[in-house]
Structure 1
Amino acid sequence: MNKLTLICISLLSFSAFSSPDKIASHEAYNHLNSLVTVCGQLSDVRKLRENIKLDVDGKYPNSNISFSVNSNIAKKLQKKWEGFKNTEGQTICASGVVEEVRGELQITLHHQRDIEIIK
């Protein structure tokens, strides 16, 4: 193998096994525009248009952060978790880029694997 191939394989294997830093929801503002895993207590579930908003460590507008879940992912998660209301009060973690949208911190989920309930 040539050097370029070895370098590419090394980089790919490193990125496959690395994961974003895990932080508490109250630390999210310090990680604006960064890829992280945010964890906290699920406080409320809101339906907004096609999306579901999961408020963490406080109900809107006082939550530390919200996880925005599109309808396709929401349907899969509802089935997996037997409904969203069953998850309120549990610890939830989501991975993604922390963004500020209309004055609210949020992570927009792109895949079902980006969110989990910690039991």
Structure 2
Amino acid sequence: MNKNRSILWQLTFFLAIKKLMNKIVVICSLIAIVGILLLFYLAKVTQPNFISLNEIDSTYIGKTVSTSGRIVAITYSKGNIFLTIYDKNSSISVPIFSNVAKYLDISLRKGQKIVVSGVVDEYKGRLQIVPRKASDIKVVE
């Protein structure tokens, strides 16, 4: 009789632990799904700071910005596209490296006004905006 009680108690304990583990798995799964959805949402709604060209200085190095300007120079080299954009009294280089350039579905020409988003960087003492993906470059005129 004591042996049966012991087995019954162990079985009851095992079932209680199993139910608790199932609840923990469900809760962890829900938290993970909510976290992934939150990250996806934040990636879509957070846009880089839009600033005018003349505001971009060395304090922005390493930061993601969005700006606009007219293309005044285009150079092609080994799959890369190098733009210079100008707005009012300021200009900046926009190197579009081959890993991004190959996905561009737009034609870039001198005189076009574009909006570009990317990371501000410095190359040979000159500031530049480096787009990370093709959708970071949009022709607006």
Native 8 Å contact 1:53 1:69 kept in 2: yes
Q: Which residue of 1 aligns with 2:50?
A: 22
Native 8 Å contact 1:25 1:39 kept in 2: yes
Deviation at 1:73, TM superposition (A): 4.0
Structure 1: where are the runs of 5+ without partners?
Answer: none
Deviation at 1:14, TM superposition (A): 1.9
Q: Which residue of 1 aligns with 2:61?
A: 32
Q: TM-score, normalised by structure 1?
A: 0.73
Native 8 Å contact 1:55 1:63 kept in 2: no
Native 8 Å contact 2:78 2:98 kept in 1: no
Q: TM-score, normalised by structure 2?
A: 0.64
Q: Which residue of 2 aligns with 1:54?
A: 83
**Match of 2:56, SS?**
helix
- Identical-pair percentage: 29
Deviates more, 1:95-104 or 1:108-117: 108-117
Which of the pair is proportionally richer in helix? 2
* Cα distance in 2, alignment partners of residues 75 and 33 from structure 1: 24
Which of the pair is proportionally richer in strand? 1
Choose the corresponding residue for 2:124, options 99, 102, 107.
102
Paired positions, count: 111
Change (3 A) 1:104 1:8: same
Match status 1:65 vs 2:87: no
* Cα distance in 2, alignment partners of residues 50 and 63 from structure 1: 27
Q: Which has the higher contact order (CA 8 A, sep 6+)?
A: 1
Choose the corresponding residue for 2:38, options 1, 10, 17.
10
- Look up the equivalent residue of 2:95 and give its one-letter code: S
Change (3 A) 1:9 1:72: closer
* Cα distance in 2, alignment partners of residues 63 and 51 from structure 1: 23
Larger radius of gyration: 2
Native 8 Å contact 2:51 2:67 kept in 1: yes
Deviation at 1:9, TM superposition (A): 2.3
